[in-house]
Amino acid sequence: MKADCIVLGAGMVGISAGIHLLKRGRSVILVDRRGAAEETSYGNTGIIQTEAIMPYAFPRQLKKLMTYSVNGAPEANWHYSALAHLAPSLYQYWRNSSPDKVAAASRAFRPLASLCLAEHEALANHAGVDGMMRRTGYLRLFREQSALDAAIQTDAKLRDTFGVKFETLDAAGVRALEPHIEGPIVGGILMPEPVSIGDPGRLGKAYAALFLKLGGRMMTGDARTLARSPGGWSIGNVDGPIEARDVVIALGAWSDDVLGTQGIKVPLFVKRGYHMHFKPRGNASLARPILDVSGGYCLTPMTKGIRLTTGAEFTWRDAEPTPVQLRKVEPMAREILPLAEKVDPEPWLGRRPCLPDMVPMIGPVVGKKGLWADFGHQHWGFTLGPVTGRLLAEMMTGEATFTDPFPYRTDRFS
Ligand SMILES: Cc1cc2nc3c(=O)[nH]c(=O)nc-3n(C[C@H](O)[C@H](O)[C@H](O)COP(=O)(O)OP(=O)(O)OC[C@H]3O[C@@H](n4cnc5c(N)ncnc54)[C@H](O)[C@@H]3O)c2cc1C
């Protein structure tokens, strides 16, 4: 079987790239070992983060580092056994978290963030699911006035430099917006522009249906079978090999598996995260996602219930699940929102694909003709999948790109 392009990975990133390539006249086969949007793109918090400009940097304050090093804060959890494995990537992550490097990463995110919602809206409209877009913004909640004041200062800088909008609320203002919030909340910051989705996996599947409607094909296969072929590249499939001149690696946290088979090393690491759904107690409800800043977790109204999503866990990608962060933040969540019993039999585990400079790789894989990268979207792959898919498709088809792709080049760690 042949096509112009094979896209490896049917998460939000790969599906979106596939659609953008189809729209530019390319024939595309999307390959995954499971169904569309069933991994990380399924279980996330579902926020299209139009404010996604200031990346999650490695902490540099001694006090915070000391707290994290002993797993003393619920937003981060380390497996000490994985430290030697993680050390090279984390050292680079720490080096890239200096203020000037974070500013450079923010500049790289700005053109992506400014178009991320428009690109989602275009796909959602075309797929007939624009009703899934909840235009409520999201709310960051604070338990300490000093933390709220510091966040207001940081947000004011982001507003002045990048135009990111925010609204400050006192405790009464929070309750006016979300009447069921209770407990020790001193105030909040509303990010008014982000949009949230009540079932991120369903949005991914709706985009996959659009991909098929536009003439794309989906196949089951193992991306690790990627090999050179006379016409370009091939992938093994139960019905025989699939061949194409161009291949896009959009495998999220698994992208390095395939690059490794081609002799290419990238310092990809994962920040794992968990979710659990809860039934609301009584008539409790939320109108929008909330982030409890002191626990680094979110509560989001979803089709399945209130979804609690955790911060970052640093360990081997495939280590057994250790949902200690869920156990730590569940009592905090119950303090601020009336929650009843759990909905899921087991916690869900997802893997954020991260690069040490916090910027995704988008573009040609240097030295491997016909191989393209679209991965490393870290905390924002659900947000940025459609816009980075557009950028990649513009590069692949020789169109003028909407932004300079230089910051996302694939050889920047070589
Ligand atoms: C708890 C949590 C909350 C988050 N909240 C948000 C949020 O609110 N907003 C946001 O923008 N982002 C959020 N993220 C991040 C976001 O979910 C990810 O960045 C995004 O889903 C990555 O998409 P992807 O398509 O690159 O990867 P995935 O969705 O993981 O897709 C990768 C695909 O590759 C396939 N694959 C892997 N190996 C192989 C193989 N060998 N052969 C064939 N197929 C293979 C997998 O089956 C999978 O379908 C969150 C993440 C977590 C963990």
- Protein residue with its CA nearest to atom 1 in ligand 1: 273
Residue of 30, 3, 27 whose CA lies nearest to 15: 30
Centroid of ligand 1 to alpha carbon of 185 (angstroms): 32
Centroid of ligand 1 to alpha carbon of 147 (angstroms): 31
Cα–Cα distance for residue pair 143/186, rounded to 1 Å: 5
- Report pLDDT for 221: 94
**CB neighbour list of residue 233: distance below 8 Å, 6 or more residues apart:** 6, 226, 227, 243, 244, 245, 246, 247, 370, 371
Query: Which atom belonging to ligand 1 lies closest to the Cα atom of 222?
Result: 42
Residue type, 105: A
Q: What is the pLDDT along the chain (414 residues), one digit of tens a residue?
A: 999 999 999 999 999 999 999 999 999 999 999 999 999 999 999 999 999 999 999 988 888 888 888 898 999 999 999 999 999 999 999 999 999 999 999 999 999 999 999 999 999 999 999 999 999 999 999 999 999 999 999 999 999 999 999 999 999 999 999 999 999 999 999 999 999 999 999 999 999 999 999 999 999 999 999 999 999 999 987 778 999 999 999 999 999 999 999 999 999 999 999 999 999 999 999 999 999 999 999 999 999 999 999 999 999 999 999 999 999 999 999 999 999 999 999 999 999 999 999 999 999 999 999 999 999 999 999 999 999 999 999 999 999 999 999 999 999 998
Quick one: which H or E segment has residue 389?
A: helix 381-396
Place of tokens 């404010």: 51
For residue 32, give both structure tokens.
């995954």
Does residue 194 have its Cβ closer than 6 Å to ligand 1?
A: no
Options 3.50.50.60, 3.40.50.720, 2.40.30.10, 3.40.50.300; CATH for 1-57+96-134+197-268+355-414 is 3.50.50.60
Does residue 223 have its Cβ closer than 6 Å to ligand 1?
A: yes
Cα–Cα distance for residue pair 314/376, rounded to 1 Å: 16
**Residue of 202, 235, 254 to test ligand 1 pocket, by largest number of atoms within 8 Å of CB:** 254
Centroid of ligand 1 to alpha carbon of 399 (angstroms): 27
- Protein residue with its CA nearest to atom 51 in ligand 1: 44
- Report pLDDT for 60: 86
Residue type, 299: L
Cα–Cα distance for residue pair 21/73, rounded to 1 Å: 43
Query: Which atom belonging to ligand 1 lies closest to the Cα atom of 52?
Result: 11
Does residue 317 have its Cβ closer than 6 Å to ligand 1?
A: no
Q: At what angle do helices 381-396 and 12-23 cross, to 10 degrees?
A: 30
- Protein residue with its CA nearest to atom 35 in ligand 1: 9
Q: Where are the domains of the chain?
A: 1-57+96-134+197-268+355-414
Centroid of ligand 1 to alpha carbon of 358 (angstroms): 15
> pTM of the predicted model, to two decimals?
0.97
- Protein residue with its CA nearest to atom 52 in ligand 1: 44
Does residue 41 have its Cβ closer than 6 Å to ligand 1?
A: yes
Centroid of ligand 1 to alpha carbon of 85 (angstroms): 22
Say if strands 312-314 and 76-78 run parallel, antiparallel, or are unpaired.
Answer: parallel
Centroid of ligand 1 to alpha carbon of 352 (angstroms): 6
**Residue of 362, 379, 384, 392 to test ligand 1 pocket, by largest number of atoms within 8 Å of CB:** 379
Centroid of ligand 1 to alpha carbon of 47 (angstroms): 14
Is the backbone of residue 163 left (phi > 0), alpha (psi -120 to 50) or beta? left
Centroid of ligand 1 to alpha carbon of 11 (angstroms): 6
Q: Backbone phi, then psi, for 227, in 5-degree steps? A: -145, 160
Centroid of ligand 1 to alpha carbon of 41 (angstroms): 4
Decide if 409 contacts 36 (C-beta within 8 A): no
Centroid of ligand 1 to alpha carbon of 259 (angstroms): 17
Displacement of CA 71 from its chain's centroid (Å) = 23
